[in-house]
Amino acid sequence: MTGRRKWLVITGVLAIGVASTLLSAYAGNYQVAAVAAGTTETATQKANREAVGKAKPGPWGYSGASGYTNYLGEGTGRSPAQPVKFPHPVHVNTLQMNCVFCHSSAFKSPDPGLPAVASCMGCHTITAIDRPEVKKVAEAFNKKLPIAWVRVHKVPEYVRFPHVRHIYAGVTCQTCHGQVQNMEQVFQYASLNMGWCVSCHVNGYSRAEGMRAAGYEPDSAALTDERQGVRKVASYDCANCHY
């Protein structure tokens, strides 16, 4: 080995080490490419954003197409099969149902809540009663059995995440959960790791970005805010979430 090659190898290994440390450290912290205030979204950014919304889970339950799959196992893209194949797109996009129609306590409780089986039966005693998945629901209801959904988004037990505070702050659901309205099967959209949470708390939340993340165009007030660089900053005190 010549001297030059030796030093090349040494520095190369060091550089790879540093790069992979940084990558593993910060992957998942920033997933929605922040669009600087006052500038418009580039075509790539737009394509990425839309790809995220339309992504489907991959063959191993991981969404390769989400664009943000973290290969270090932080759970992004995780998409467990659910006992009932509930089609969010049909309910949200086609039927224009709001998220809080079913997840009704999201704006009054730390806990977003899941619809009671009876809520499903409010409509499904009349509509689509012959679909196999709806039949499952009806059967559960008749047997007075709850449906055991598999949890997709979860923060650890030592984290308090009050949904109500975020809803009142104007954060769109899709900011954290992704465009569930376009997901045939819900997958974990964001890494939900601490850096990801904190980035938004520190750098602030732009309503326009949130609306774009939700898949619709920002309203004029949001656009004005964005032009003026208004971002909603939150507390990043540790005891905000950990107690």
Partner 1 sequence: MATIAYEPKRPNIASANVQLPAVRDYEQVDDEIVATLRPSKAWFLMLMTAIACLGLGVSAFLYQLHQGLGVAGYNPPVMWGVYIVTFVFWIGIGHAGTLISAILFLFRAGFRTTIYRCAEAMTVFAVMTAGLFPIIHLGRPWKFFWLLPYPNWRLLWPQFKSPLVWDVFAISTYLTISTTFLFVGLIPDIAVLRDRETNPTRKRILSFLSFGWRNTEREWRHFARAYLFLAAVSTPLVLSVHSVVSFDFAMAITPGWHTTIFPPYFVAGAIFSGIGMVFTIIIPIRKWFRLQHYVTLNHLDAAAKLCLTTSLIVGCAYMVEFFIAWYGGVQVEQDFFWNRVFGQWWWAAWIMLTCNMILPLSLFSQKLRRNPTWLWILSIFINIGMWFERFVIVVPSLSHEFEPWQWTTYAPTWVDYSILLGSFGWFFMWFLLFVRQLPIIAIAEVKEIVAPRLKRAHAHTPDNADDYEPETPGAHN
Partner 2 sequence: MRGVLGHFRELDSAVDAITELKAARLGDVTVFTPTPRHEFEVAVAPPRSPVRMYMLFGGLAGCLFGYWMAIWASAYWPLVVGGKAIASWIPYTIFGFEVFVLVGGLSTVAGLFIHARIPRLTMMVGYDPRFSRGDYGIWVECAPDRIASAEALLRKNGAVEVRGER
Partner 3 sequence: MTKPVETANGVKRRDFLKVLGVTGAATAMVGCSTDQVEKLIPYVTSPDHTVPGVSNYYATTCRECAAGCGIIVETRDGRALKAEGNPDHPVNRGAICARGQAALQGLYNPDRFRGPMLRQNGQLVPISWEEAIDALHKGVDTAMKSGKARHAVFINQHEQGLLHSFLDEWLAYRDMPPHISYDAEAPFATIVANRAVYGVSWPRLDFGAAKLIVSFAADFLDGWGLPVPQQLDFAEARGKIEGAPRLIYIGPRRPLTGLNADQWIAAKPGTAGAIARMLAGKMTAAAAAAATDVPVATLAALKKEVAAAKPSLLIAGGSGPKALDLATEVNTLNKSLGNVGVTVKPAEAYGAWEGVVPPAVLNDVVAAMEASDVPALFVRGANPVYSTPVGLGFAAAAAKVPFKVSFSTVPDETTALCDLILPDHHALESWGIAEPVKGTLGLQQPTMDPVFNTRATADVLLASLRPLPCFSCPVDPAEDKQHAADIAKFPPDYRGVVASHIGGNSKLQHALPKGLLAGSLPGRVVPVAKIMKPAIVGEATGDYYLATYANLLMGDGRGANKPWLQELPDPVTKICWQTVVEMHPETAKKLGVERGDHVTVKTVAGSITAPAFLYIGVRPDTVAVMVGRGQTASGRYATGTGHNAWSLLPASNDAAGGYQLVGVRCTVAKAAGHSMIVTTEGSGRQHGRGIARASTLEELLTGEEHKPHAFPGQASTAFLPGLRAPVAGDAQGEFSDPTSAQKGEYDPKHPSGRAKRRWAMTIDLAKCTGCSACVTACYAENNIPTVGAEWQGPILYPDRKFPGANITRSREMAWLRLERYYEIDREYKDMAWNPEHHPEVRVIPMLCQHCGNAPCEPVCPVYATYHAPDGLNVQVYNRCVGTRYCSNNCPYKVRYFNWFGYGEPDRAQYAFPEPLNWQLNPDVTVRAKGIMEKCSFCVQRIRDAETLAKVQNREIEADEFTTACAQACPSRAIVFGDAADEHWSVTKLIEDRRAYHVFEELNTFTAVVYLKKINHPAPAGVTA
Q: Rounded distance, CA 208 to CA 217, Å?
A: 8
| Token pair listed for 92 | 């949200």
Q: Which is nearer to partner 1, 52 or 192 (CB)?
A: 192
CA dihedral of 39, 217, 86, 188, whole degrees rounded to 10: 10
User: Is 195 one of the binding residues for partner 1 (CB under 8 A)?
Assistant: yes
Q: Which does 89 bind (CB under 5 to 8 A by kind): partner 3, partner 2, partner 1, none?
A: none
Count of residues that bind partner 3 according to CB under 8 A: 52
**Spatial separation of the C-alpha atoms in residues 108 and 167, rounded to whole Å:** 9
| Contact yes or no for 240/211 (Cβ under 8 A) | no
Residues 55-114 that bind partner 3 (CB under 8 A): 73-75, 78, 80, 105, 108-114
Q: Which does 21 bind (CB under 5 to 8 A by kind): partner 2, partner 3, partner 1, none?
A: partner 1
**Is residue 34 a contact point for partner 1 (CB under 8 A)?**
no
Choices 19-27, 107-115, 123-131, 203-211 (CB under 8 A): range interacting with partner 1: 19-27
Residue 149 near partner 3 by CB under 8 A: yes
Q: How many CA atoms lie within 13 A of 106 on its CB side?
A: 18
Closest contact distance (angstroms) between CB of 200 and partner 2 is: 15
Contacts of 168 (CB under 8 A, 6+ apart): 107
Q: Which does 29 bind (CB under 5 to 8 A by kind): partner 3, partner 1, partner 2, none?
A: partner 1
Task: Considering the complex, state which of residue 130 and residue 243 has its C-beta at the smaller distance from partner 3.
Answer: 243
Polymer length of the chain = 243
CA 46, 48, 49, 50 dihedral sign is positive
Site string for partner 2, 210-239 (x = CB under 8 A): --------------------------x-x-
Q: Burial of 189 by CB count in 10 Å (0-12 exposed, 13-18 middle, 19+ buried)?
A: buried
Nearer to partner 3, 206 or 215 (CB): 206
Q: Are 15 and 184 in contact (CB under 8 A)?
A: no
Instruction: Please pick, from the candidates 6, 46, 85, 242, the single residue that binds partner 3 as defined by CB under 8 A.
Output: 242
Question: Coil, helix or strand for 210?
Answer: helix
1 binds partner 2 (CB under 8 A): yes
Question: Structure tokens of 240?
Answer: 């905000």
The token duo for 65 is: 């197409």
Q: Could you tell which of partner 3, partner 1, partner 2, none binds residue 27, using a CB distance below 5 to 8 A set by kind? A: partner 1
Q: Footprint of partner 2 on this chain (CB under 8 A)? A: 1, 236, 238
